[in-house]
Amino acid sequence: RKLFVEKHLVSEAYRDIPLPIGCGQTISQPYVVAYMIACLNLKKTDKVLEIGTGTGYQTAILSHLCQEVYTIEIYSDLLNKAKKRIAKLNLKNLIFKLGNGTEGWQNKALFDAIIISAASEIIPVKLLENLKNQGCLIMPIKKPSGNQKLLLVKKNNETYLEKELLGVKFVPLLNKNIK
């Protein structure tokens, strides 16, 4: 994780805490990243959509576990820094996009798994449309109380099976113009 934080935070990189990355965003704590990825039960042949590239830390991990990672970031500054970090690691199975993640990946693309690294009160419909049958989506969901829980959603034909997991704290999912 030290490769994905600013120099002044390198000494904190291996603590199991979120860290600031700029633009009001954070890099998630390592345990939560690992837990979310593990819940997806990825296969080497899977195509994954990641919402919230951030520093590229989770993106890099995903790249080793599946065939392709499509990743969307709303902040151009964060996306450009993530691309530079990823380039140094020589990872080739990644496709980056600057955009509003709530809009999903256009062109009717379908994914085996979708991982969202920001909390929302609802699951964005366009992301559900990007999910293959038998695919899984994981994201933090914001409850009316203000608390957040990880939500694992499995698509089964036209129905969605939802399972609440552990309590978490994420930055809000942004649904606005690109920065």
Catalytic residues: 28
| Helices and strands, number each (H, E), in the chain | 4, 9
- Cβ neighbours, 10 Å, residue 38: 11
Largest alpha-carbon pair distance within the chain?
A: 48
